[in-house]
Amino acid sequence: MKVTVSRRAHFNAAHRLYRKDWSDEKNNEIFGKCNNPNYHGHNYELIASVTGKIDQETGYVIDIKILKDIIKTEVEDVFDHKNLNLDVPEFKDLNPTAENIVVVIYNKIKVRLGEHLELEVTLYETPRNFVSYSG
Amino acid sequence: MKVTVSRRAHFNAAHRLYRKDWSDEKNNEIFGKCNNPNYHGHNYELIASVTGKIDQETGYVIDIKILKDIIKTEVEDVFDHKNLNLDVPEFKDLNPTAENIVVVIYNKIKVRLGEHLELEVTLYETPRNFVSYSG
Amino acid sequence: MKVTVSRRAHFNAAHRLYRKDWSDEKNNEIFGKCNNPNYHGHNYELIASVTGKIDQETGYVIDIKILKDIIKTEVEDVFDHKNLNLDVPEFKDLNPTAENIVVVIYNKIKVRLGEHLELEVTLYETPRNFVSYSG
Amino acid sequence: MKVTVSRRAHFNAAHRLYRKDWSDEKNNEIFGKCNNPNYHGHNYELIASVTGKIDQETGYVIDIKILKDIIKTEVEDVFDHKNLNLDVPEFKDLNPTAENIVVVIYNKIKVRLGEHLELEVTLYETPRNFVSYSG
Amino acid sequence: MKVTVSRRAHFNAAHRLYRKDWSDEKNNEIFGKCNNPNYHGHNYELIASVTGKIDQETGYVIDIKILKDIIKTEVEDVFDHKNLNLDVPEFKDLNPTAENIVVVIYNKIKVRLGEHLELEVTLYETPRNFVSYSG
Amino acid sequence: MKVTVSRRAHFNAAHRLYRKDWSDEKNNEIFGKCNNPNYHGHNYELIASVTGKIDQETGYVIDIKILKDIIKTEVEDVFDHKNLNLDVPEFKDLNPTAENIVVVIYNKIKVRLGEHLELEVTLYETPRNFVSYSG
């Protein structure tokens, strides 16, 4: 009897899509206006969905306050009001596309959960563009 | 060629998270402010998603008016403007966490559907906290 | 050059609409299912909108962190996860309709703002029902 | 390491649910007010979700501008501000239920994607009624 | 002490923007794709906002069930699942632009309200285009 | 008979709140994490609301395609995927608070409208923080 428990969170960040090892021409061709050298930004919306059995004592799969705290520590405290390229070590050499960000976030939250719990992370870059990853 | 048809509904209810067989201290420790003895409440939003083959005659998996009526009879009529702990028999001895509520709702809707139809229920306790269950 | 700055917040609460000095019949006639003796509840969404001149030094009408803190102290800390009828002194003898709640909230926030600032408060009881008050 | 990339789009269209080979009585019985002979309409919201491996060079599963263009060419240009029954060839003899529309859209987008990419399409007929199909 | 009480409702309808007394060329030039001869359609979302004094007995400006019923009778029952041009008498010779629709709706609701109550109607033609009118 | 016509648009941008003529300490004290030297960013949502009389010929206050184009030229083309501090001349010496941005946008759109039309602009910096200005 597995139930999925989801928590929505958000952070605001600047980023730029480009590869240091590519020419300006190639970066512009592939990443278009997302390659603005002075960065642009987003209100990222995040949904972390944890699947597991209901604990018969508490009626919880996971106390959502615990999930909320994990998201705060692993994601909000380090990504919010930051420049992903310059301020977040994971993206020093990794292009901060939505796809790469959602994998990084998944990995950071997953290690904090018990092994009996599955995880899926959905990340909205804009209300119209979003990605999800479940390992 | 299976398609999933979803219907969104809602109900407003009061509830309190606690176990009668636990001390006040333990209830407070585990359930925090959700254990307020005078109850608190939510606008619960519900999505019932039914999966099956498209009927070649009608072009429907299920007539959404039928699904809407099942949700009304099984969920809205008995949960809306109610106190889940006191007014709804299923929670007389079952802690009305979102996880337990979604399983109860799933079971009530599932028996009303033909056996060839699969069901998933998603329940939003708040816009940021939600759960889902598919049997 | 007046600008309006708005902050959205929320709280979950139980309530019951009724008058102690009316008979059960009259309460049922006027307040219908909102008069459930065991209470029901809502996810209240709140928008506090403050209007004033832009401070030429900071570019702010009001630092939104200050507005956020006022809402937390005056509204969230005292209304969230509470029973409005039983746990909130303002509604001891005042029927907690959306109209009465929004006036109470307006008064609590207004006294915390400088006299040069105007206020409007909008309160969503459900996504389809909401009220607003500006003094 | 498969990630799902989703793009939201929309189109406005008129339609009518009925079968030419049924009597008016039977069409009314089965399709109710959706069978209005003069049509009614919707703001259809569409989510196309593409699943595949992250390209290690670009950090993309699919460039979302490409997905956006496919949706524009295959769906928006031919469905938007149209009468589905009269203006869209696929529905000449196919009842434009949400289920049938989502399958048509899936097929039109799927042939434009590389074979290594999976697709799911979700179609909102109203904010409360929606369908999804993944082949 | 005036409070505004708002109720959200919706209806789905087909329409076409054009003037019978104009040539096809002029209609196309002015109304573009909204002039599709076979119609297109929308999920119209409606907010009716009623302003007045709080009744000291009930705590209501207006019982929202009454407002909900007025909207049902005056708007939903006559506009929902209809073709505005063909099925709704008010638009027989009046171009059903959002502006003209919102004025028609305002007039239909206003006559049903007591004279001491003010009204504003907001009509969403799409999530991105909307109009409002207050007499 | 004045009606208000509103159009919603959006742009993504990076920004930083600070004054060049203040010390780092003062900037940090006043602007907190919004003063991150490497910038952060937002999905700004914009609503431009134009009020005027309905043209009896067309049924329009303003053709919303014209309003959409003005927003595109004046706002989206110059703000989207940009760094407001570095890429937008208006903010070279003006702190890009939401209040200052909304006034700049108002002025840019207002000069493009006929004198008989009134304007209000609402700007969402996040779903919870927004500002509005009407001259």
pLDDT digits (tens, 9 = 90+) for F17-44: 999 999 999 999 999 999 999 999 999 9
Rounded CA separation F59/F61 (Å)? 7
Q: What is the DSSP string of F27-40?
A: HHHHHGGGG-TT-E
Convert the pLDDT of each residue in A78-114 to its tens digit. Answer: 999 999 999 999 999 999 999 999 999 999 999 999 9
Q: Compute the count of residue pairs across chains A and F with CB atoms less than 8 Å apart.
A: 80
Nearest to C81 by CA among B32, F12, D54, D110: B32
Could you tell me if F10 and F41 are in contact, meaning their C-beta atoms sit under 8 angstroms apart? no
Rounded CA separation A61/A53 (Å)? 6
Best of F58, F66, F117, F124 to disrupt the E interface (most E CBs within 10 Å) is F58
Q: In terms of DSSP H, where are the helices of chain C? A: 24-31, 64-71, 77-79, 84-87, 98-110
Asked if the C-beta of F83 comes within 8 angstroms of chain A's C-beta atoms, the answer is yes
Find how far residue F110's CA is from the centre of its chain: 12
A56 contacts: CB under 8 Å, gap ≥ 6: none
Rounded CA separation E99/F32 (Å)? 44
Q: What percent of chain B has pLDDT over 90?
A: 99
3-state SS class at F88:
coil
Asked if the C-beta of D47 comes within 8 angstroms of chain B's C-beta atoms, the answer is no
**Are B97 and A9 a contacting pair at CB < 8 A?**
no
E107 contacts: CB under 8 Å, gap ≥ 6: none
Rounded CA separation D27/E54 (Å)? 48
Domain CATH code at residue C55:
3.30.479.10
B40-53 and B2-15 as β-strands: parallel, antiparallel, unpaired? antiparallel
For Cα atoms D91, D94, D95, give the angle at the middle one, nearest 5 degrees.
100
pLDDT band for position B86 (cuts 50, 70, 90) = very high
| pLDDT of res. D99 | 98
Please give the residue range of the domain that contains residue F80.
2-11+41-133
Asked whether residue A1 carries a pLDDT value surpassing 90, the answer given is no
Asked whether residue A50 carries a pLDDT value surpassing 90, the answer given is yes
Around C21, how many Cα atoms within 13 Å sit in the side-chain half-sphere? 6
Asked if the C-beta of A83 comes within 8 angstroms of chain D's C-beta atoms, the answer is no
F111-117 long-range contacts, Cβ below 8 Å, gap at least 24?
F112/F70, F112/F74, F113/F50, F113/F62, F113/F70, F114/F52, F116/F52, F116/F53, F117/F50, F117/F51, F117/F52, F117/F61, F117/F62
| pLDDT of res. C56 | 95
Chains that touch F (3 or more CB pairs under 8 A): A, C, E
**Are C86 and B126 a contacting pair at CB < 8 A?**
no
Could you tell me if C46 and C106 are in contact, meaning their C-beta atoms sit under 8 angstroms apart? no
pLDDT band for position B1 (cuts 50, 70, 90) = confident
**Are E129 and F61 a contacting pair at CB < 8 A?**
no
Find how far residue F18's CA is from the centre of its chain: 19
Rounded CA separation C43/C125 (Å)? 7
Q: For residue B74, count other CB atoms closer than 10 A to its CB.
A: 19
Beta bridge mates, E13:
E42, E82
Q: Is residue B29 part of a domain?
A: no
Rounded CA separation D28/D35 (Å)? 6
Radius of gyration of chain E (CA): 17
Chains that touch D (3 or more CB pairs under 8 A): A, B, E
**Are A32 and D8 a contacting pair at CB < 8 A?**
no
Rounded CA separation D17/D101 (Å)? 12
Q: How far is E114 from chain D (nearest CA, A)?
A: 33
Asked if the C-beta of D133 comes within 8 angstroms of chain B's C-beta atoms, the answer is yes
Which residue in the set A97, A130, A133 is minimally distant from D60, CB to CB?
A: A97
| pLDDT of res. D134 | 98
Q: How far is B16 from chain A (nearest CA, A)?
A: 12
Asked whether residue F134 carries a pLDDT value surpassing 90, the answer given is yes
Rounded CA separation C51/C116 (Å)? 9
Asked whether residue D1 carries a pLDDT value surpassing 90, the answer given is no
Hey, CA dihedral for B17, B22, B26, B30, is it positive or negative?
A: negative
Write down how long chain F is.
Answer: 135
**Are C128 and E58 a contacting pair at CB < 8 A?**
no
* Residues B102-110, mean pLDDT to the nearest whole number: 98
| pLDDT of res. B17 | 98
Q: Is residue F17 part of a domain?
A: no
Distances (CA, A) of A44 to A76, A83, F33: 10, 13, 16
Quote the longest CA-to-CA distance of chain D: 60
Q: For residue D12, count other CB atoms closer than 10 A to its CB.
A: 22
Mean pLDDT of chain D: 97
Q: What is the DSSP string of D79-92?
A: HTTEEHHHH-GGGS
| pLDDT of res. A4 | 98
Asked if the C-beta of E61 comes within 8 angstroms of chain C's C-beta atoms, the answer is yes
3-state SS class at B10:
strand
Could you tell me if A127 and D8 are in contact, meaning their C-beta atoms sit under 8 angstroms apart? yes
Catalytically active residues of B, by annotation: 34, 81, 125
Amino acid at C124: Y
Q: Is residue D99 part of a domain?
A: yes
Does A81 qualify as catalytic in the annotation?
A: yes
What's the total number of domains in chain A? 1
Asked if the C-beta of A71 comes within 8 angstroms of chain B's C-beta atoms, the answer is no
Q: For residue B114, count other CB atoms closer than 10 A to its CB.
A: 8
Convert the pLDDT of each residue in B5-54 to its tens digit. Answer: 999 999 999 999 999 999 999 999 999 999 999 999 999 999 999 999 99
Structure pTM? 0.96
ipTM (interface predicted TM): 0.95
Q: Is residue A25 part of a domain?
A: no
**Are F99 and C60 a contacting pair at CB < 8 A?**
yes
Distances (CA, A) of C77 to B33, B39, E60: 11, 16, 26
Could you tell me if F33 and A80 are in contact, meaning their C-beta atoms sit under 8 angstroms apart? yes
Q: What percent of chain F has pLDDT over 90?
A: 99
| pLDDT of res. E1 | 85
Backbone angles phi, psi at C84, to 5 degrees: -60, -40
Amino acid at F87: D
Residue environment code for C67-92, b if the CB has 16+ CB neighbours within 10 A, otherwise e: bbebbeebbeebbbbbbbbbbbebbe
| pLDDT of res. F1 | 85
Q: How far is F129 from chain C (nearest CA, A)?
A: 5
Asked whether residue C1 carries a pLDDT value surpassing 90, the answer given is no
Tell me the chain F residues in contact with residue A86 when contact means C-beta distances shorter than 8 Å: 38
Regions of chain E where pLDDT drops below 70: none
* Residues F57-64, mean pLDDT to the nearest whole number: 97
Rounded CA separation B102/B112 (Å)? 16
| pLDDT of res. C110 | 98
**Are F14 and A80 a contacting pair at CB < 8 A?**
no
pLDDT band for position A36 (cuts 50, 70, 90) = very high
Chains that touch C (3 or more CB pairs under 8 A): B, E, F
**Are C8 and F129 a contacting pair at CB < 8 A?**
yes
**Are A34 and F126 a contacting pair at CB < 8 A?**
no
* Residues F56-76, mean pLDDT to the nearest whole number: 97
Asked if the C-beta of F108 comes within 8 angstroms of chain A's C-beta atoms, the answer is no
